[in-house]
C-alpha cells in the first residue's frame, strides 16, 4: 500500500558508487536526512571507482566505440566498486539513468520497505552497457531531462526514502499528510499572521487566512483540507484524480469546489 509507513526500527543501508563522493554531504550534513543519519536511522557507504583502478592515471573512462562526443565510464572499475559495496551488504543495484523507470511515491515506498540498496551514479555519456547488463537490477530516472551525473538523482531518492523511516520526521503524521500519499496533492498551508500583506493588495489569493482554519473545529478543518486537496488535484493533476476512486463524500466535496470555481469565474 502506497501510504503505509515502513516498519519501526528499520535502518536502511544505502551505498553509492560515485566519482564525486563529496557531493553526498548535501544529504548527510543537513536537514531531516542529516538528523536521521545522526540518529542512526540510515547509513551511507561511498565507493569511488577511481580507488578500484589499476593504472597510474586511475582511469575511469574512455572514448566511445564507434566515435562521437564525450567519454564512457569503464566497466572494470565500476564492477570492482560494486563488488566492494556488495561485500558491505549493498542490496540491489540501482543505476540512476534518464532511461530508467520514473521515480514516484509508490516506488519510494517500495524502496523504503527494503533494508539496503546501492546506487550506481553515471557521469559523462554514461556507463558501458555490458556493466549495466551484468550488474544492474533496476534503472531509475528522476524525470525526463538529463543531469550531468547520477549523484543528484541518488540524493533525491535517499531524501525521499529517508523521510519514510519512522522517527525521521518530527511527527509520524507528517509523512502521511503529504502529496501523493493518498493519491492526491496536498492542501494549501498557512501560518501567521492571519492577514498578509496588511493592505491586502495584489496576488491571486486573499490576504486573509481561510476562516475554517481559524475556527478550531477539527472536523470542519479536516473536510476543508480534503476539499482543497481534491480541488487542487483536479486543477493541477487530473491524471492523479482519474486514477483514484472517490467515495460519495469526496465526490460531493469536489463538486462543491468545482461549483465555487465556476461561480467565481476562475
Name the CA dihedral angle for 101, 104, 109, 110, rounded to a multiple of 10 degrees: -10
Give the number of residues written for the chain. 266
The residues that bridge with 17 in the sheet, in sequence order, are 47, 120
Element (H, E) at 16: strand 12-17
Give the residue, chosen from 31, 89, 143, 193, that forms a contact with ligand SAM under the rule CB under 6 A: 143
Q: Where are the beta strands (DSSP E) in 111-190?
A: 116-121, 138-141
Q: How many CB atoms lie within 10 A of CB 13?
A: 18
Give the residue, chosen from 41, 77, 93, 123, that forms a contact with ligand SAM under the rule CB under 6 A: 123
Residues 25-44 touching ligand SAM, rule: CB under 6 A, are none
Stretch that binds ligand SAM, among 77-85, 135-143, 192-200, 239-247 (CB under 6 A): 135-143
Stretch that binds ligand SAM, among 59-67, 107-115, 122-130, 157-165 (CB under 6 A): 122-130
Give the residue, chosen from 8, 146, 201, 205, that forms a contact with ligand SAM under the rule CB under 6 A: 146
> Does the footprint of ligand SAM cover residue 233 (CB under 6 A)?
no
> Does the footprint of ligand SAM cover residue 220 (CB under 6 A)?
no
Shortest-Cβ-distance residue relative to ligand SAM: 122
Of 20, 84, 93, which Cα lies nearest the Cα of 52?
84
Spatial neighbors of 191 by CB under 8 A, at least 6 apart, are none
Q: Would you tell me the crossing angle of helices 248-264 and 218-236 to the nearest 10 degrees? A: 70
Give the residue, chosen from 142, 160, 241, 253, that forms a contact with ligand SAM under the rule CB under 6 A: 142
CB of 183 to ligand SAM, least distance (A): 24
Using the minimum distance from each CB to ligand SAM, give the nearer residue, 141 or 227.
141
Give the residue, chosen from 149, 166, 167, 210, that forms a contact with ligand SAM under the rule CB under 6 A: 149
Give the residue, chosen from 148, 174, 211, 220, that forms a contact with ligand SAM under the rule CB under 6 A: 148
Of 28, 7, 32, 31, which Cα lies nearest the Cα of 18?
28
Using the minimum distance from each CB to ligand SAM, give the nearer residue, 123 or 232.
123
Residues 60-89 touching ligand SAM, rule: CB under 6 A, are none
- Which value, in Å, is the radius of gyration of the alpha carbons in the chain? 23
Cis bond before residue 197 (omega within 30° of 0):
yes
Give the residue, chosen from 98, 113, 166, 167, that forms a contact with ligand SAM under the rule CB under 6 A: 98
Cα–Cα distance between 21 and 217 in angstroms, integer?
50
Cα–Cα distance between 20 and 120 in angstroms, integer?
12
> Does the footprint of ligand SAM cover residue 141 (CB under 6 A)?
yes
CB of 259 to ligand SAM, least distance (A): 40
Residues that bind ligand SAM (CB under 6 A): 96-99, 121-123, 125-127, 141-143, 145-150, 153
Amino acid at each position: 500500500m502506497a501510504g503505509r509507513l515502513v516498519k519501526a526500527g528499520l535502518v536502511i543501508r544505502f551505498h553509492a558508487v560515485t566519482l564525486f563522493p563529496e557531493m553526498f554531504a548535501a544529504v548527510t550534513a543537513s536537514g531531516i536526512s542529516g538528523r536521521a543519519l545522526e540518529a542512526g536511522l540510515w547509513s551511507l557507504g561511498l565507493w569511488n571507482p577511481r580507488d578500484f583502478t589499476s593504472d597510474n592515471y586511475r582511469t575511469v573512462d574512455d572514448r566511445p566505440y564507434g566515435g562521437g562526443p564525450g567519454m564512457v565510464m569503464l566497466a572494470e572499475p565500476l564492477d570492482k566498486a560494486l563488488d566492494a559495496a556488495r561485500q558491505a551488504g549493498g542490496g540491489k543495484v540501482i543505476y540512476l539513468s534518464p532511461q530508467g523507470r520514473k521515480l514516484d511515491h509508490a516506488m519510494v515506498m517500495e524502496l523504503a520497505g527494503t533494508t539496503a540498496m546501492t546506487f550506481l551514479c553515471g557521469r559523462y555519456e554514461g556507463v558501458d552497457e555490458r556493466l549495466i547488463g551484468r550488474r544492474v537490477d533496476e534503472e531509475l530516472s528522476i524525470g525526463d531531462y538529463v543531469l550531468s551525473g547520477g549523484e543528484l538523482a541518488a540524493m533525491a531518492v535517499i531524501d525521499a526514502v529517508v523521510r519514510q523511516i519512522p522517527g525521521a520526521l518530527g511527527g509520524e503524521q507528517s509523512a502521511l499528510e503529504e502529496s501523493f500519499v493518498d493519491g492526491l496533492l496536498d492542501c494549501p498551508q498557512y501560518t501567521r499572521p492571519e492577514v498578509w500583506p496588511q493592505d491586502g493588495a495584489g496576488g491571486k489569493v486573499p490576504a486573509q487566512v481561510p476562516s475554517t482554519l481559524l475556527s478550531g473545529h477539527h472536523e470542519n478543518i479536516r473536510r476543508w483540507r480534503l476539499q482543497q486537496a481534491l480541488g487542487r488535484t483536479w486543477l493541477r493533476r487530473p491524471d492523479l484524480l482519474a486514477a483514484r476512486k472517490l467515495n460519495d463524500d469526496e465526490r460531493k466535496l469536489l463538486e462543491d469546489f468545482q461549483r465555487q470555481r465556476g461561480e467565481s469565474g476562475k
